[in-house]
């Protein structure tokens, strides 16, 4: 099997590009300043940054490190630079030229919400900023390591056109598959050097950084390590400016240090509250809310909804230990999402009894004064007949044993 730079050819001889990785997995993330500290631990160059929680502290930091300086909102969402604050309509990444300008901007950033294409419609609250001295950039690169779940192996993604527009240039990404135990081999490094035209001195540093990234990826149970941008400065040095890291949620027991760095105030409220109840909730881009039990059924349901022209607003798996309390919370989360125009509940009663599901649906409806959107329920399995008997109410349609 070829690895470095491998491509797949279609019948017409044209190169088949793998699309972005869109399959969802349970993961947890760290704020940017924590990711920078991890990079430092693994000898990967980053700017010397400072975390502030008040406009006064922002002014003091810029006074001490000098201007121009970069101020970044710390939330667990991408697109901060192109986002908009609910205070002054400006973005979440700003360059300031004086301590007073830092104070003024921080006054409109800390304590307000930032809306990006990856946040809920109301945005996410910003409680702190990350500040470092501005870097004079000669060239921006994109570097990431993740898993290719179609090939069952890790892949290094690189582009010499990094920065805020990388998502619109995914076809320019070069992919280098590698073995997790051997990492970036001399053969892969040579292929990278040929593709990107690095000088010998630069390539020695690039190889060091990539090998350290692989080490971090392996030792910390990461699912994504993204450096964007990774830059060459006008002075010729290589440095990571921004970092986004995701880690395997199932490996938390092996990573107590990382778990201690989680900051739930910076993440989406619904995802955090769902996780506290043992629910797997992932926000998607559609308008049909979905509640299921079991990841396999969840993915099959999502596929079928999409096949028939719909788009799911979420992935919400109540699991096998669902209770009336967790179901009530699930309904509350989805009904509170203004994007959700209909709700599809698809339950296979194995461990979970279908009559308990029906009772929970009716109890949740009564508690909320009725559902404000149409609800379709499919029940199969244990006690589905009792579940069917319990329930036909306005805006509620039960389909059982189909």
**200-229 per-position pLDDT tens digit:** 999 999 999 999 999 999 999 999 999 999
Which pLDDT score is estimated for 167?
67
Q: What is the DSSP letter of 40?
A: H
Residue 106 has pLDDT above 70, yes or no: yes
Over the Cα atoms of the chain, what is R_g? 24
Which pLDDT score is estimated for 280?
79
User: Which stretch of 6-15, 100-109, 315-324, 390-399 has the lowest confidence by average pLDDT?
Assistant: 6-15
- pLDDT of 305-350, one tens digit each? 999 999 998 888 887 666 777 777 788 788 778 788 998 989 888 8
- The count of other CB atoms within 10 Å of the CB of residue 108 is 16
Residue 69 has pLDDT above 90, yes or no: yes
Q: Average pLDDT, whole number, for the chain?
A: 84
Residue 19 has pLDDT above 80, yes or no: no
**Residue 14: both structure tokens together:** 């044209």
Confidence class for position 375, pLDDT limits 50, 70, 90: confident
Q: What is the DSSP letter of 254?
A: G
Contacts of 352 (CB under 8 A, 6+ apart): 293, 318, 320, 322, 382
Cα 112 to Cα 105: distance, rounded to the nearest angstrom: 12
Q: What is the DSSP letter of 91?
A: -
Which pLDDT score is estimated for 298?
87
CB 326 within 8 A of CB 277: yes
Which pLDDT score is estimated for 319?
75
Identify which has the larger pLDDT, 266 or 239: 239
- What is the torsional sign of CA 145, 271, 35, 160? positive
Confidence class for position 26, pLDDT limits 50, 70, 90: low
Cα 305 to Cα 299: distance, rounded to the nearest angstrom: 10
Which pLDDT score is estimated for 268?
61
Residue 75 has pLDDT above 90, yes or no: yes
User: Which stretch of 16-25, 40-49, 231-240 has the lowest confidence by average pLDDT?
Assistant: 16-25
Q: Where are the domains of the chain?
A: 23-27+136-258, 48-133, 268-400
The side-by-side arrangement of strands in the sheet containing 342-349 is 280-283, 314-317, 288-292, 342-349, 375-381, 396-400
Confidence class for position 269, pLDDT limits 50, 70, 90: low
- pLDDT of 142-177, one tens digit each? 999 999 988 999 999 999 888 776 766 677 799 999
Residue with tokens 């300008």: 101
Q: What's the CATH class of domain 48-133?
A: alpha beta
Cα 106 to Cα 110: distance, rounded to the nearest angstrom: 6
| pTM (predicted TM-score) | 0.70
Considering the domain 268-400 in this protein, what is its CATH number?
Answer: 3.40.50.261
| Residue 168 three-state SS | helix
Superfamily of segment(s) 23-27+136-258: ATP-grasp fold, B domain (3.30.470.20)
Confidence class for position 15, pLDDT limits 50, 70, 90: very low
**Burial class for 356, CB neighbours closer than 10 Å (0-12, 13-18, 19+):** buried
CB burial string 328-340: b at 16+ within 10 A, e below: bbbbebbbebebb
Which pLDDT score is estimated for 255?
94
Q: What is the DSSP letter of 237?
A: -
Percent of the chain with pLDDT strictly greater than 70: 84
- The count of other CB atoms within 10 Å of the CB of residue 151 is 15
CB 232 within 8 A of CB 58: no
Which pLDDT score is estimated for 279?
76
CB 346 within 8 A of CB 315: no
- The count of other CB atoms within 10 Å of the CB of residue 245 is 25
CB 400 within 8 A of CB 383: no
CB 280 within 8 A of CB 315: yes
User: Which stretch of 273-282, 340-349, 353-362 has the lowest confidence by average pLDDT?
Assistant: 273-282
Contacts of 108 (CB under 8 A, 6+ apart): 85, 87, 88, 90
Which pLDDT score is estimated for 57?
98
Residue 14 has pLDDT above 50, yes or no: no
Report the catalytic residues.
Answer: 142, 226
């Amino acid at each position: 099997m070829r690895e470095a730079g491998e491509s797949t050819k279609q019948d017409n001889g044209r190169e088949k590009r793998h699309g972005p990785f869109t399959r969802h997995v349970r993961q947890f993330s760290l704020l940017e300043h924590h990711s920078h500290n991890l990079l430092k631990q693994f000898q990967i160059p980053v700017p010397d940054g400072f975390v502030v929680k008040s406009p006064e502290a922002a002014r003091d930091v810029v006074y001490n490190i000098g201007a121009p300086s970069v101020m970044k909102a710390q939330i667990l969402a991408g697109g901060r630079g192109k986002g908009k604050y609910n205070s002054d309509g400006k973005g979440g990444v700003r360059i300031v030229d004086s301590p007073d300008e830092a104070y003024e901007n921080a006054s409109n950033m800390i304590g307000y919400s930032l809306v990006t294409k990856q946040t809920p419609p109301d945005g996410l609250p910003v409680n702190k900023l990350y500040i470092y001295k501005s870097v004079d950039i000669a060239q921006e690169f994109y570097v990431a390591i993740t898993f290719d779940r179609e090939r069952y192996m890790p892949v290094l993604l690189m582009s010499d056109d990094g920065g805020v527009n990388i998502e619109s240039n995914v076809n320019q990404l070069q992919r280098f598959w590698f073995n997790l135990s051997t990492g970036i081999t001399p053969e892969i490094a040579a292929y990278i050097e040929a593709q990107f035209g690095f000088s010998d001195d630069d390539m020695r540093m690039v190889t060091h950084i990539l090998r350290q990234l692989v080490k971090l990826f392996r030792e910390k149970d990461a699912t994504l390590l993204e450096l964007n941008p990774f830059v060459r400065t006008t002075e010729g040095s290589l440095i990571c400016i921004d970092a986004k890291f995701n880690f395997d949620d199932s490996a938390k027991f092996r990573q107590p240090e990382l778990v201690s760095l989680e900051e739930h105030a910076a993440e989406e409220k619904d995802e955090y509250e769902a996780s506290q109840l043992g629910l797997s909730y992932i926000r998607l881009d559609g308008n049909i809310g979905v509640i299921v039990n079991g990841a396999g059924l969840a993915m099959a349901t999502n596929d079928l909804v999409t096949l028939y022209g719909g788009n799911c607003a979420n992935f919400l798996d109540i699991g096998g230990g669902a209770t009336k309390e967790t179901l009530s919370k699930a309904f509350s989360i989805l009904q509170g999402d203004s994007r959700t125009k209909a709700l599809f509940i698809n339950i296979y009663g194995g461990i979970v009894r279908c009559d308990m599901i029906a009772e929970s649906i009716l109890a949740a409806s009564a508690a909320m004064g009725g559902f404000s959107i149409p609800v379709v329920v499919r029940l199969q399995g244990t006690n589905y007949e009792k579940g069917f008997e319990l329930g036909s109410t306005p805006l509620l349609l039960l389909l059982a044993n189909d």
